[in-house]
Amino acid sequence: MLETNGHVSPRTSSSKTVVVADSSLRVVMLALLAVVVAGCNGGTVDKHALKRDAEKVGSLATEGELLANDVSKGASTKYFARVHAKELSQAAADLADALGKRPTSPGITPDVRRLSRLAGKVSTQLEQLHLHPTDRRLAQSLEQPLKDDADAADRLAK
């Protein structure tokens, strides 16, 4: 606000200021959305949540298998493989942690804990790919185990 001759008048804003304010609002809204979505991973694991989480683990393992295949053929850059493997590994680790702690509906506890261990295994395999993003032999050795893990997760989703 500008004060001229005792009168207060609004300051004219440049479009740059409006864009910055709009961007700041978007960042705040996205952060709030992330907190809300993260909160949805709590609560009791029921059959529907087990199916959904098993599908997520299966998807992470399948994506890891594809990445390992690309690395084994030299079809992926070191930086892409490193970053993508880390993202996949962290997502699997988060699922493993949540599934290992959350309460479950009666009768599905063994499957939930089995899925937790499977997600942890997928995370460990993907972490190896993250740590060695140019090791073609290692990548090739991870392809089948990741495929097997994806299949195991798919069985738990049924």
Instruction: Kindly state the average pLDDT of the residues 99-121.
Output: 97
Instruction: Give the start-end residues of each E strand in the chain.
Output: 2-4, 7-9
In order, the DSSP letters of 41-69 are T-S-B-HHHHHHHHHHHHHHHHHHHHHHH
**Residue of 112, 3, 97 whose CA lies nearest to 47:** 112
pLDDT at 6: 52
* Cα(59)–Cα(151) distance, integer angstroms: 10
Higher pLDDT, 69 or 42: 69
Domain 45-157, what fold? Four Helix Bundle (Hemerythrin (Met), subunit A) (1.20.120)
pLDDT at 124: 98
Three-state DSSP class for 134? coil
Cross-strand partners of 2: 9
* Cα(129)–Cα(60) distance, integer angstroms: 13
**Per-residue model confidence as pLDDT tens digits over 76-87:** 999 999 999 999
pLDDT at 17: 44
Average pLDDT value for the chain: 84
**Is it the case that residue 110 has pLDDT exceeding 50?**
yes
Residue 78 CB coordination number (10 Å): 11
Instruction: Kindly state the average pLDDT of the residues 20-25.
Output: 46
pLDDT at 23: 47
Domain-by-domain residue ranges, the chain?
2-35, 45-157
